[in-house]
Amino acid sequence: MTHRRAVLSLWATCLIWGIAFPLAKLALADVSPMLFTSLRFVAATVLLLPALRHATSEEWRAGGWLGLLLALAFSFQTVGLDLTTASRSGFITALYIPFTPLIVATVFRRLPTAAAAAGISVAMIGMTLLTGPGRLAGGPNTGDLLSLICAALFAAHMVATGFFARRHDVRRLMMTQIATAAVLTTLATPLLETPRLSATPLLIGVVAYEAVLASIVAIRLQLAAQRVLSATYAALVYSLEPVLAAVAAMVLTGDRLTPLQWGGGGLILTGSLLPDLWRIIRGRSGPLTEAPDDGSAA
């Protein structure tokens, strides 16, 4: 895959996942959060079953780690989404973009640059404005905090994806992690909640969207793109996702943000993009697209 096709693939993933925020919010009126998360992965796994038998033990091992992170991230995201708005959830989840270099620094012992540290600081100020301290927007709620944990988990998944995607077949890696997530979320559902389900046409349609587009297609595109792009650069491309989520939420759920909250969302995106913008200003826009964040050479 060329660099251009990799970026286009991630843009398509942003569109799919951005629209998924308000769709999931609508669906949660008919189903409990953990059961919804389980259904999306189980439905996707059923579609993938015929090809799963070809996966090797090494691919299952790699997919197991990715599936664990994926299951945790989407579980925190969906439960959090049930307790906050789709727009806030989308912008807070986008904090995985500045969190990614922190994970890289921790795992591969690479200190984040000054620009990355500044970007994280700006993004956290943006989150404060978005969630609204005091009476500005009710303050951060439980859903916001769960979305913050989700962002850290997605950052870890982003780095792990870049590591494993260069070592295993992308298609099988996508299948094994989805199957692992299906098993884990299904086992966890009765332990974490009292399942609730009303099989409405809306719920069936959203589960189909989440299973086919937001799981199989989007994760396949992500894996293929991250064979070419570093985890850090991929995270920067994903900065489009929360904007699409906020716009989709306005259209589908009537969600609205105040000017101050939009400003907070803008600071999150600015902080996320700051390291790349700094490189462009200094005339060095290339490194993020060339060096993988997995401790190896591309």
* Cα gap 160→236, rounded to integer Å: 16
DSSP assignment string, 49-80: HHHHTT--HHHHHHHHHHHHHHHHHHHHHHHH
* Cα gap 261→138, rounded to integer Å: 12
pLDDT per residue over 198-228, tens digit each?
999 999 999 999 999 988 898 888 888 878 8
pLDDT at res. 279:
63
Q: In degrees to the nearest 10, what's the CA dihedral of 142, 143, 149, 154? A: 180
Highest mean pLDDT out of 48-62, 256-270, 277-291: 48-62
* Cα gap 215→44, rounded to integer Å: 7
Q: Where are the domains of the chain?
A: 3-290
pLDDT per residue over 230-251, tens digit each?
766 676 677 778 888 888 888 8
Q: In the chain, what percentage of residues exceed pLDDT 70?
A: 84
CB 27 within 8 A of CB 196: no
pLDDT at position 1 over 50? yes
DSSP assignment string, 99-124: HHHHHHHHHH--PPPHHHHHHHHHHH
The structure's pTM equals 0.79
- In this structure, what token pair is assigned to residue 200? 């409405």
